[in-house]
Structure formats: structure tokens, C-alpha cells
Amino acid sequence: MLLWMGIFFILPLLVMLAVSFAGRGTYGGVEWTFSLTNYAQLFDPLYLRIYGRSLALALATTTLCLLLGYPLAYSIARAPVRWQGVWLLLVMIPFWTNFLVRTYAWMFILRTEGLMNQLLINLGVISQPIELLYSDWAILIGLVYGYVPFMVLPLYAAMERLDSSVVEAAWDLYATSWSVFWRVLLPLTKPGVVAGCILVFIPSLGAFITPDLLGGAKSMMVGNLIQHEYLVVRDWPLGSAISFSLMALVLLGVLAYFKTDGRLDRFEGGG
Amino acid sequence: MNTLQKRQWLAALLCLASLSACPTTPEDGPRKSPTLYYFTWSDYVSPELIAEFEKQAGVKVVVDTFGSNEELLAKLQAGATGYDVAVPSDFMVSIMARQGLLAELELEQIPNAKLLAERLQRLPFDPDNRYSIPYLWGTVGIGYDSNVISRQPDSWTVLWDPRYKGKISMLNDQREVFGVALRVMGQSLNSRDPAVIVQAKAKLLSQKPLVKTYTSENYDQLLISGEVALAHGWGGAVARAMAERPSIKYVVPKEGGTIWSDCLVVLKTSRNRELATRFINYLLDPTVAARTTNRLLFASSNRQAKALVDEQLRENPAVYPLDSTFDRLEWMADLGEAIRLYDRAWTELKMQ
């Protein structure tokens, strides 16, 4: 286990950390001089705007995935046992197709002459095709579509373990449906919610294919910036510094959560 | 043994056989037949031509692909060895040569190199063909739908025409996009002047609201489907769109633009330079080159090949640049540290 972690996780991280302090070779590669300039560059207002934008999009994606995923996971967990496997399989089937291919499929759906516009016109909602593709909305749709299974699976796992007699007890005690959800269901499925949110938030923060293909590459997210630094500008040290800080921030966030909220959970559980 | 078991055995054996039949390095080959490792652009080979070379030379060719010059360089620098022949573009040839990644060519072993088109001889990035020989080449221009744009556009400024808002696509490539603005301003597309680059950025910012998408991949599809009426792009890709939709036309505007050539090189780490050289000579053979052009719709560097190419491709300005355009074309040069100026301006363009 330790060896496995060392080879596949810690070693690459250490290489990245070392590179992030190095100097840039004009033609890519690194010059092994120690400097903090890469980290100082991170606070460039231009880059701060990129982080802000990525954060907003990742938060919106996570929220939408939660809103869509929660009822879905709940109905799967409540379905007859022999059907649950089928529903879960249906949630996972899209993973068998390459993400790039699925993103291209969305381009066909959203484009001006695409399925979505035709559907809306036939339904009489709009009279002229509207611009759906190449916008922030398209990016959001693509991200939510891509990551909703990451939300559903941990939620399902939490709900499946849920003791239904607890929910029945709440009903018996005349709880309204809102308080059943808010005071019983949600606290009991919280580990699933947290796991799902983390699993959706992190990859959508680093996404770069979706913003390019569905957003028309008209603006950047952190993922695009990192890719740009590595492959176009050939500034591996800056690319490493951005990647490393991004990861450290996410890690700190998760740790902070487990330090505070995790402890409260146990307290409540004991009470 | 019943049939089911037999089948399982067969399947297992097949798996084993297929495992041992994928050599990862030349030494692993089951029959010890020499293998050539060819590193090229995606969609840039004609499979039947590769198969013919394999048969003729009694070797195996493994094709691996990259998506941009920068990706090629990054992969080689990150330590990818074992490739024999690669296809960098003009400015990348000089970078790779300076980085010591290229082997010197044995020109006497490549007789077809003598058949280079006149325009492609003594090119600035490798005048004596020490490291590279031009292979496929062309221009960057505007692909447009003549049903929508009735008068043939003769200037890049058509990409700033508000009538075509939302009907324009630009390459997702900082050098090419800035190149357009710089040529409109009457500057070299290799300008290193910070003030000029800032001006070019302002010009591109004023264009951005009209642009539907920045893409280097699927603009031929966008032209065919009518999603865009004007696409900034490589000639060969526009030629693909023309084949599907005859109203598509191609023009290199009067302000001029990029001329490019992808070149064949032998990598220094190649373990089979003799075979690599033979492969390069094969690709440059007039008949092979003409068949490559017919398939990929990019012009061949071989002057004898042009006569063998399909007639409508020969006369298509998107494939073979018109003689009249040459004096306004410019090779893209490596900018060294000045690339930073473009990078900054490009990121700002995207974030505003």
C-alpha cells in the first residue's frame, strides 16, 4: 500500500513540487535554479480572475449536480432491490464512451441547427434558433452532464445504508415532509453528500476540454491555463506551481471540513 | 473437452498471442523484423501507403500521433525516445535542431529530396536541409461560404464586419490569431515589439464579440453545416469542407498571412537511421507524394508530384497556393522569450 502510494501518488507530486520552484527553459524543460517567482506570479490579477471564474463554474456545477443527483439517488435506493442494479448500470453506462466523444455529442445537440433548438421550435417555445452552444451555459450543461454520476454513486451508497425505520419514525411523529428531509434524511446521508460534492467539485475545477469545446475557447478556466502554460508557452515551472497550489487549496478545504464538521457529526450522532 | 471449454481455451490463447504480438521496442518483435516508429500529426497518414512500404521494405511501421508542435516538443523533451521519424513544422524544426533532438540527414540516401519544389528550397529555418526536408505545405487563409458572403472578401478585415456577427470562427492558436491582427496593421506576424502586440490585442478584442468560437479542430464541420460563414483556418481543412459543400471558397487576403511546411526529420535517438532515411525517401517519391495529397488535401513538396495530383486539387488555391499570393506570405519564426508577450496578450484576450 505504502509502495503503491509512493510510486503513483507521492513521487509525481514531489517532482511537480520541485519543478514549481525551478526556472523556465526558453524551449520547455526546466532550469534547476531555486526561485519563488512562479508562486509570486500566481497572484497576478489576470490569473486571479481565471481562478474566480473557475471557482464560480465549479460551484454552480456542484450545486446543480446535487439538486439533480439527490432525488435520483433517493429513488434508486427506494426502488425494488432487483431494479437498483439496473438503474445504477444506466447511470454508469455513459462512462463506457470516451468523454471527448460525449462532449462532441453535446455540440450536436446544442448547436444552432441542433436537436435542442429543433425541439424548442417544434414545441413552440421559441420561433428562431437561439445560441446555446459556445456560452457559459453550454459549459455548465457539459460539466453537470459529465459529473452527475460522481454525485449519484456516493449518495446512493449512503442512502442504501439508511435505516428506513428512522424515516418511518419521523413520519409517525408527525414530521412535515420538509422536516423529514431536513432533520432526518439529509443529516443521515451527509457523508454521501460531502463525498459526492468533493468528487464533482474537484474535476470540474480543473476541466479544460469542456470550456474549449462547448464554451468555444472564448475564455479560460484554471485547467486551460495549466494546459496553456505546459504546452503552448512551455513554462513547466509556472504550470506546476498553479497545479500544485490548486491541489493544496482543495486539500486544505477538505481537511478543514473534516476537522470541524466531521467532529460535530460525531457529537450529534452520539447525542 | 466440450465446445465451450475449447472456445475458452482458444480465447485465452488468442489473448496470449496478441499480447506477444505487440512489440513496444524494436527488440520485442516476434519475428525480429525491423520496426519503424513514425511520430506524426493526427489524420496525417494514408494507411494504404504505410502498408505498401511495410510490404516493400519488409518492415513494420508503428504510427503514433500528436496534436500540435508544442505537444511534439514536450513529449520528446519529457523523454519519449524510440521514435525514428517525426513531422515538425518549419519553426519547430529550428527549435528542435537547436535543442539537439535531430540527426543530420544523409541527403545522398534521399534522392527524392532533389525534387523539391522551387518555392520550398533554401527555407530560412533550415536552408541546406541539414536536418529536415519539407513534406506537406500550405497557407492559412479564410474559408467562406459564397452563398452568404456574396462578394469575394479580399481583406482580413471581413473578420471584423459586424454583419457576420456569430458567423465567424478563428483558430484557437495564439500565434495564428495575432498574426491576422498584425498583418492587418501592416506588421510582421513575427513582431517582437511589445507596443505593437498590445495594439494587436486591442484589435482582436474589438473582434471578439463577433467570434462564434476559437477552434483549430472542427471548423471544416462548422463551415459545412453552415454554423459559420467565415473560418480562419488551414487550407487543407477548408479544402475538406469544399468537397462536402461546393459553395465554400478559400482566399488568402491581400494583407498576406502564414505559409507553413511540415517537414520530415530523423530523430537523434532513432535506433534505425538507415530505415528512417529510406522511409523519408519513400514518402517523397512523386507517386507516393501525389497519392498523399489526394488523400489528405495538403500540397506535396515534390515538384513532380503536382502533375500526378487530381486536377481539381491542383487548381484549388486551398491546396496549392496561387503563384500570385507568394510575395505576401510569411514564415512563422520562433520568437524565443518574446513568446511571453503573446502569451500574456492571448490570456488577456480570452479573459476580457
Which of A15, A19, A27 to mutate against chain B (most B CBs within 10 Å)?
A27
B341 vs A26, residue with greater confidence? B341
Asked if pLDDT for residue A73 goes beyond 50, the answer is: yes
Is residue A19 classed as helix, strand or coil in its secondary structure?
A: helix
pLDDT digits (tens, 9 = 90+) for A89-117: 999 998 888 888 999 999 999 998 889 99
Is residue A23 classed as helix, strand or coil in its secondary structure?
A: strand
Is A26 within 8 Å of B336 when comparing Cβ atoms? yes
Residue A15 lies in a domain: no
B22 CB contacts (<8 Å, ≥6 apart)? Answer: none
- Looking up residue A139, the CATH number of its domain turns out to be 1.10.3720.10
pLDDT-derived band at B6 (thresholds 50, 70, 90) equals: very low
B211 touches A: beta carbon within 8 Å? yes
| Residue A63, domain extent | 45-270
pLDDT-derived band at A262 (thresholds 50, 70, 90) equals: low
Asked if pLDDT for residue B160 goes beyond 80, the answer is: yes
CB B119 within 8 A of CB B149: no
Write out chain B residues lying below 8 Å of A225, CB-based.
347
CB A208 within 8 A of CB A232: no
| pTM assigned to the model | 0.86
Greatest mean pLDDT among A61-75, A99-113, A198-212, B64-78 lies in A61-75
Asked if pLDDT for residue B106 goes beyond 90, the answer is: yes
Is A28 within 8 Å of B77 when comparing Cβ atoms? yes
pLDDT digits (tens, 9 = 90+) for B224-244: 999 999 999 999 999 999 999
The average pLDDT across A72-90 equals: 93
A114 touches B: beta carbon within 8 Å? no
Query: What is the tally of structural domains in chain A?
Result: 1
pLDDT-derived band at A33 (thresholds 50, 70, 90) equals: confident
Residue A204 lies in a domain: yes
- Select the CATH number that applies to the domain covering B30-136+261-321 from these four: 3.40.190.10, 3.40.50.300, 3.20.20.70, 3.40.50.1970: 3.40.190.10
Separation of alpha carbons B177 and B171, rounded Å: 6
Q: What is the fold of B138-259+324-351?
A: D-Maltodextrin-Binding Protein; domain 2 (3.40.190)
Is A220 within 8 Å of B208 when comparing Cβ atoms? no
Is A27 within 8 Å of B213 when comparing Cβ atoms? no
Asked if pLDDT for residue A29 goes beyond 90, the answer is: no
Q: Of A90, A189, A71, A198, whose CA–CA distance to A147 is shortest?
A: A198
Residue in chain B nearest A112 by alpha carbon: B227
Residue A171 lies in a domain: yes
Residue A6 lies in a domain: no
* pLDDT at residue B32, as a whole number: 63
Write out chain A residues lying below 8 Å of B165, CB-based.
none
B279-282: Cβ within 8 A, 24+ apart: B279/B36, B279/B38, B279/B53, B279/B57, B279/B61, B279/B84, B279/B85, B280/B85, B280/B105, B280/B110, B280/B133, B281/B109, B281/B110, B281/B111, B281/B112, B281/B113, B282/B53, B282/B56, B282/B57
Is A217 within 8 Å of B213 when comparing Cβ atoms? yes
Nearest Cβ partner of A134 from B95, B172, B212?
B212
Write out chain A residues lying below 8 Å of B336, CB-based.
26
pLDDT-derived band at B19 (thresholds 50, 70, 90) equals: very low
Shortest Cα distance, chain B CAs vs residue A230, angstroms: 8
